[in-house]
Amino acid sequence: MLRRALLGLTLAASIASPALAFPDRTITLAVGFAPGGSTDVTSRLLADRLGPALGPNGRVVVENRPGAAGLVASDWLRRQAPDGHLLMLVEASSHALAPNAVQGGTRYDPIGDFTHIAVVGTGPMIVVAPPSFQARTAQEAIARLREGGENLPFASSGVASMPHLSAEMLAATLNMGGRFPHVPYRSGGLMVESIARGETQWGVAVLASAAGQVRDGRVRGIAVTGLERFPSFPDIPTLAESALPGFDLENWFAVIGPRGMPPAVVETLNRAIRASIAEPQLRERLLIAGVNPWSRPNTPRDAEAFFRAELAKFAQVVQRTGVKLEP
């Protein structure tokens, strides 16, 4: 009897040990874009708080692995060890848009190949242009796009990225699909810089990529793509209210890991992420950066359900607009 009891205690300890020992070294939070874009900004804000939230051994570093709007890094992540020390902050482009819109699909299954840990936040896209752009209001900008066509190249943060889809969706809504030349960059930061310098005439950026430049006046924010104005930019109208009724498209950010992570480790990470984004200081910094912190139920099961729902939603968006993207 005593031997059986001791065996049970040993088994319980072995099951609990992943959480008790975790983390036992630095956690890497990968980002599928170059520095300066929305995902990079969000990951660094989160990493600053996530480390302390994980306890004395908590240390989180951000690693940029740019390529194909997050598709390359996502394919890499699914082949890594699922011990919880290698995570990735992903956005809608690689895990909801690309599986639906890229010709031939993605090499990875956005549901089956990953462990879904927690949602971090959401944010609209924003139509941006150089200060010299010959339109002051959203209505004037839409009229200018209708007139300009192939003479108005747009920038994006990469083929199959959310900015790419957003611009194509806007063009399709204007019945001008394929009319605007596309100039892809390696990150949202580089994309917005190109617009600020006048290398490209316009683009639809993730708000978190463009927030600083909009505040500084280096680019002009014309309209956001959500149904409501964003709290930290109340003077910028929505496309829906000013030019294109019903236009609604938002980006989101979430933390995932390779498939098969120990449940106890997933729970530890989930609690730390939820604690981090509940802190008033981080919430304020995220809002200033253009990210609305997640406040809905956010267990790992909730996170997976969110991914499934977004995958289905973007399938409808792609079908409705007819947008197809080359890998």
Q: What is the pLDDT of residues 150-178, one digit of tens each?
A: 889 999 988 878 888 889 889 888 888 87
Both tokens of 46, joined, read 């989160």
The CA-atom distances, in angstroms, between 251 and each of 90, 99, 118, 173, 309 are: 10, 15, 15, 19, 14
* pLDDT score recorded for residue 13: 39
Looking at the chain, the whole-number percentage of residues with pLDDT higher than 90 is 70
Alpha helices (H) in 152-216, listed in sequence order: 162-173, 188-196, 207-216
Residue 87 φ/ψ, nearest 5 degrees: -125, 175
55 vs 59: CA distance, rounded Å = 9
Which of 308, 306, 278, 303 shows the shortest CA–CA distance to 293?
278
pLDDT of residue 191 exceeding 90, the answer is yes
The CA-atom distances, in angstroms, between 75 and each of 107, 238, 258, 310 are: 7, 35, 10, 19
With bands split at pLDDT 50, 70 and 90, how would you rate the model's confidence at 96?
very high
Mean local confidence (pLDDT), 14-39: 80
Q: Comparing 7-11, 30-34, 131-135, 188-192, which segment has the lowest mean pLDDT?
A: 7-11
Under CATH, domain 124-242 is a member of which superfamily?
Periplasmic binding protein-like II (3.40.190.10)
pLDDT of residue 83 exceeding 90, the answer is yes
Mean local confidence (pLDDT), 131-149: 88
Greater pLDDT, 214 or 321: 214
Mean local confidence (pLDDT), 88-92: 97
Q: Comparing 114-123, 169-178, 213-222, which segment has the lowest mean pLDDT?
A: 169-178
Mean local confidence (pLDDT), 209-227: 94
Mean local confidence (pLDDT), 206-235: 93
Q: Comparing 37-51, 55-69, 133-147, 225-239, which segment has the lowest mean pLDDT?
A: 133-147
Residue boundaries of the structural domains of the chain: 12-123+251-321, 124-242
Q: Domain 12-123+251-321, CATH 3.20.20.140 — does that match?
A: no
With bands split at pLDDT 50, 70 and 90, how would you rate the model's confidence at 187?
confident
With bands split at pLDDT 50, 70 and 90, how would you rate the model's confidence at 18?
very low
Give the pLDDT confidence of 256-310 residue by residue, as tens digits: 999 999 999 999 999 999 999 999 999 999 999 999 999 999 999 999 999 999 9
Mean local confidence (pLDDT), 10-36: 72
Greater pLDDT, 69 or 252: 252
Q: How far apart are the first and last CA of the chain?
A: 62
The pTM of the full predicted model, rounded to 2 decimals, is 0.87
Name residue 221's beta-bridge partners.
128
With bands split at pLDDT 50, 70 and 90, how would you rate the model's confidence at 323?
confident
With bands split at pLDDT 50, 70 and 90, how would you rate the model's confidence at 60?
very high
* pLDDT score recorded for residue 68: 86
Kindly report the average pLDDT of the chain as a whole number.
90
Map residue 108 onto helix, strand or coil: coil
* pLDDT score recorded for residue 283: 97
Mean local confidence (pLDDT), 29-49: 94
Q: Determine whether 271 is exposed, middle or buried from the number of CB atoms within 10 Å of its CB (0-12, 13-18, 19+).
A: middle
* pLDDT score recorded for residue 327: 62
162 vs 53: CA distance, rounded Å = 30
DSSP notation for 4-43: HHHHHHHHHHHHHHHHHH--SSPEEEEESS-TTSHHHHHH
Question: Residue type at 289?
Answer: A
Asked, colleague to colleague, whether 12-123+251-321 and 124-242 share their fold, the answer is yes
Give the chain's length: 327
